[in-house]
Structure 1
Amino acid sequence: MVIVLRADTLDDLLREAIETILNDGELTNPTKGPALDVCGAVLTLDNPLARLSRSEGRGRLFSSLGELCWYLSGHNDLSHIAYYISTYSKFAEEGVIHGGYGPRLFAFDGINQVEYVVNTLRKKPSSRRAVIQLFDHSDVAEHHEDVPCTCTMQFLIRGNKLQLLTYMRSSDTWLGLPHDVFCFTMLQELIARSLSLPVGSYTHFTGSLHLYQRNISAAKAFLAEGWQSTQSQMPEMPQGDQWAAVEKLIHTEELLRSGDGLVPEMLDGSPYWADVARLLAIYALVKQRKVGDVAAIGETMDNSIYDVFIQDKLENIVR
């Protein structure tokens, strides 16, 4: 039987998914360790802008943003993503992550799949061929430490909105799902802006929706926090094509990661992207334990939705 879950916010969706796994999951023993598993699940986020968890346990804005920048850079190098998520080091092969999505999104066998989706839907808005492929037959031709959990992403214009349907072979509800929802809905919104369309719902199909045994206690603690706000959402991206701003952002991120500081022109852009650049700067400063600088940048944020995440980072430095 397929499990169908639907919610307005990421936190609500996470709660439903975790409760379902704890109640109905079957104990399995996959490659990465024992896990409770539900076979066949459909999760729909009605408001993709509510992509940030507001909880104590799942508020992973900075690592999600770092992973998004890694994807958008078109690269799959370990050094980039390990700056934000050190556990990727376990899956590296000669300094790269074989299953990294960046090259597959923007240069898979020489094809820019994101550009293909935009062009396809511009020419024929009712097309069902606007599909990005991430998992490939070559991924199982020989052993790799990391292969994509995501099989395909299908973009459909329905009800004059851009819908995204993602098909997964496997979804780690605790670690992977919050990052996937953040990155994929950000890509959905970027493509929607290129098509001058509002964002529709995000639907996440998965063959295995699971929770590793080592994360069950943390997941139960998340449930014990109580319901999170259902009102908070990220601001909308500016109208119009945003890829020039993305290019600037990727350049800014690269400079911050290398320790060269902020790119002033990035902060002169739209308030939306200026805030994203500030968040990346805050992460870099946190790694350097510069409390005063983090607080100073935090005070310049345009949107208050990020305050709770910045405050959490400040508290971690102090501890």
Structure 2
Amino acid sequence: MLSLKAKTLDDLLYNVLKSLIEEGLDVNPTKGKNKEIFGACLVLENPRARLSQTESKGKAFSAIGELLWYLSGSNNLDFIEYYLTKYGDYSDDGKTIHGGYGPRFWNNNNCDNQIQNIIDLLSKKRNSRRAVIQLFDSSDLSEEYNDIPCTCTMQFVIREGALKMSVYMRSNDAYIGLPHDIFCFTMLQEIIARELGVELAEYYHFVGSLHLYDNSLKLAEGYLKEGFQSLNVEMPKIPDGSPFEQINLVLEIEKTLRDGKVIDIDNYKNLTKYWKDIVLLLQIHSKFKAKDYSSIDSLKKQLIYIDYEQIVEDKLRRIRL
């Protein structure tokens, strides 16, 4: 059993990858050879320290894109391929991703809005232990699909006025999947905490098969050589109050950008500073995809959160090398 606790995502990733390289058992399942530790408990003490500060793992754009895919309730391939092109390998019909979390969050079995259900439950019963979201379903084993959820359940509890979250995953790719999962899930944790009017507590990530594929081994070793990234850098706090009106506006803007249209962010007067930064990152991502690097500098200067600016500069530098 691997048990690790850290204040930042980078601290956690460093120790996870080091443990897998040194202690992982060589296995060869369906998707290729890997080093595996079966049974892991990873604790992120500060869920806002969810973005990697390293050169190789600074994946803010794709992580934000995946989060918005979940929040939109969509499992459409064209949405997520805009941010993560490899998702096309996991579609059964070239249009959707069977295991996409969006419909499972918002319209599970065509009747349950699971996110709203747990918000309603914890609003009425602050000490409840029943606020559980189920993503993996028994029907996922009834047929062969190219993609089924790696995440089985999410549980939310309020303790001492703060929201804790625990996630159980049947399988987790430590190099590629884990950073995205922690980003998206801790963002969901904070969104729900804001909706409930409580503070943010620790995030617990339980994994059955935690693994590192052989084809990611050299990349993981390169990440470790970047140094122990113990910078306690955290994202700003989501503003108090219900965040869903802002999220819906961001989703509307995201769709406009993904459709190849241009926006003027100054036209969106209702955006708070927090969500304006997220939209600016979406704009910058669209410019990266169009290879319009000259426009990125002016957008970058509008970012309020300085660490986002550093992430953009790092990506520009890697492209220009």
Aligned to 1:98: 98
Distance 2:313 2:268 in 1: 23
1:62–1:280 CA contact under 8 A, matched in 2: yes
Aligned to 2:307: 305
Aligned to 1:282: 284
SS of 1:215's equivalent? helix
Aligned to 2:66: 67
Q: CA RMSD in A?
A: 1.1
Aligned to 1:36: 35
Shift of 1:318: 3.4
* Deviating 4+ runs (over 3 angstroms): 263-268, 316-319
Distance 1:84 1:33 in 2: 24
Matches within 5 A, 1:161-180: 161-180=162-181
Shift of 1:64: 0.4
SS of 1:170's equivalent? strand
Shift of 1:317: 4.5
Aligned to 1:181: 182
Shift of 1:231: 2.0
Aligned to 1:153: 154
Shift of 1:236: 0.4
Aligned to 2:298: 296
Q: Does 1:122 align with 2:123?
A: yes
Matches within 5 A, 1:1-319: 2-94=1-93, 95-109=95-109, 110-262=111-263, 264=265, 265-266=267-268, 268-319=270-321
SS of 1:169's equivalent? strand
Change (3 A) 1:267 1:228: farther
Q: Percent identity?
A: 43
How many residue pairs match? The answer is 318
Comparing 301-310 with 178-187, greater Cα deviation is found at 301-310
Shift of 1:24: 1.1
Distance 1:124 1:200 in 2: 18
Comparing 131-140 with 309-318, greater Cα deviation is found at 309-318
Distance 2:256 2:92 in 1: 25
Distance 1:4 1:313 in 2: 32
2:7–2:232 CA contact under 8 A, matched in 1: no
Structure 1 residue ranges without an equivalent (≥5): none
Structure 2 residue ranges without an equivalent (≥5): none
Q: If the length of structure 2 is used for normalisation, what is the TM-score?
A: 0.97
Q: If the length of structure 1 is used for normalisation, what is the TM-score?
A: 0.97
Distance 1:113 1:263 in 2: 34
The one-letter code matched in structure 1 to 2:9 is L
1:168–1:205 CA contact under 8 A, matched in 2: yes
1:8–1:47 CA contact under 8 A, matched in 2: yes
The one-letter code matched in structure 1 to 2:136 is F
Shift of 1:23: 1.4
